[in-house]
Amino acid sequence: MKVPISVVVITKNEEARLERCLKSVKDWAEEIIIVDDYSYDSTKEIASKFTDKIFVKKMNNEGEHRNWAHTKASCNWILSLDADEVLTDELKKEIEQIFNSKANLKFSGFTIPRKNFIGNYWMRAASQYPAAQLKLFYKNKFRWEEVEVHPRAFLQGRCGHLQNPILHYTYRNFEDFLQKLNRQTTQEAQKWFKIYKLNPKKANYKMNLIHALWRVLDRFIRYFLIKKGYKDGFIGFMMAIFSSLYQIVSYAKYWELKNEGSFFR
């Protein structure tokens, strides 16, 4: 008997990782929903082997895009997955027990820990584990903040916490990490440029060179030293370096947007 859950996956050129994700929920969840952002690889063909509920929509705003995807689910409960995430048998059994015991009635949602990987290496330190996220929730009591990048999750009611992790194949390699960093910092800069046009004082207070430089130092110290990223050796060192660059790169792109036409032709 299938679990009464809609698994919702948003995709964009995920041919290399999607099949592993969908295999982990095939014949387990009541339905699988795919919302694809105009992939030009074989993502949709792979998805069609697992579901006929495939929708195509341009993602301009991550929070709004995810909220829209959830409206396509027919089940009251949604499990939100990314294409690089895989459910383990232990986690599926834990979720089944929740529904069999009706324990889900006490909660509006559940966080799930994640094992984050770069390649096949499980990153254990620097807050990479358990790194729990709110992934399973009652549809009408949950929504994402509608911002371009890193939207916050809002849940009405109590939140439970599952014990078994999702396997999250976060980055294929260092190059993949930098590609995602490039994309996310562009989105972050665009978000703050929109804020700047509406409220320059707020934007200049939060997004300035001094603040960006401080965040570089703060992130590296926290990730590599305080949160013991050094336990992951050279990989932990590079993760701390890359993560610390997020704010200064975002600021550089934000500065460029503000000065477009003055310095760049």
The 3-state DSSP class for residue 109 equals strand
Neighbours of 102 (CB within 10 A): 8
CA distances from 143 to 35, 99, 226 (A): 17, 22, 33
The span from the CA of 67 to the CA of 141, in Å, is: 12
CATH number of domain containing 34: 3.90.550.10
Identify whether 10 is part of a domain: yes
Between 106 and 252, residue with greater pLDDT:
252
- 105 shares a domain with 23: yes
> How many structural domains compose the chain?
2
The span from the CA of 212 to the CA of 204, in Å, is: 11
- 178 shares a domain with 165: no
With a cut of 60, say whether residue 12 has pLDDT above it. Answer: yes
Bridge-based pairing of strands 114-118 and 166-171 is parallel
pLDDT at 138: 96
- 140 shares a domain with 99: yes
Segment 103-115 mean pLDDT: 88
With a cut of 70, say whether residue 104 has pLDDT above it. Answer: no
- 154 shares a domain with 52: yes
- 98 shares a domain with 185: no
Segment 220-239 mean pLDDT: 94
Segment 73-89 mean pLDDT: 97
Identify whether 264 is part of a domain: no
The span from the CA of 45 to the CA of 98, in Å, is: 33
Range of the domain at 166: 3-171
For 109, phi and psi rounded to 5 degrees? -170, 170
Q: pLDDT class for 204, splitting at 50, 70, 90?
A: confident
pLDDT at 107: 94
pLDDT at 37: 96
* pLDDT tens digit sequence for 116-138: 999 999 999 888 899 899 999 99
Identify whether 114 is part of a domain: yes
- 209 shares a domain with 178: yes
Nearest to 29 by CA among 101, 103, 92, 114: 92
Instruction: State the DSSP code for 230.
Output: G
Identify whether 263 is part of a domain: no
Identify whether 43 is part of a domain: yes
Identify whether 145 is part of a domain: yes
- 131 shares a domain with 183: no
Q: pLDDT class for 261, splitting at 50, 70, 90?
A: low
- 109 shares a domain with 150: yes
- 235 shares a domain with 165: no
Mean pLDDT, the chain, as a whole number?
93
Identify whether 113 is part of a domain: yes
- 90 shares a domain with 44: yes
Q: pLDDT class for 150, splitting at 50, 70, 90?
A: confident
Identify whether 265 is part of a domain: no
- 187 shares a domain with 65: no
* pLDDT tens digit sequence for 19-74: 999 999 999 999 999 999 999 999 999 999 999 999 999 998 899 999 999 999 99
Question: Considering 126, 149, 171, which residue would you say is the last residue of a domain?
Answer: 171
pLDDT at 264: 55
With a cut of 80, say whether residue 262 has pLDDT above it. Answer: no
Question: Considering 118, 140, 171, which residue would you say is the last residue of a domain?
Answer: 171
pLDDT at 33: 98
pLDDT at 46: 98
- 75 shares a domain with 126: yes
Between 42 and 203, residue with greater pLDDT:
42
Q: What is the pTM of this model?
A: 0.87
With a cut of 90, say whether residue 105 has pLDDT above it. Answer: no
Question: Considering 113, 148, 171, which residue would you say is the last residue of a domain?
Answer: 171
Q: pLDDT class for 265, splitting at 50, 70, 90?
A: low
pLDDT at 103: 62
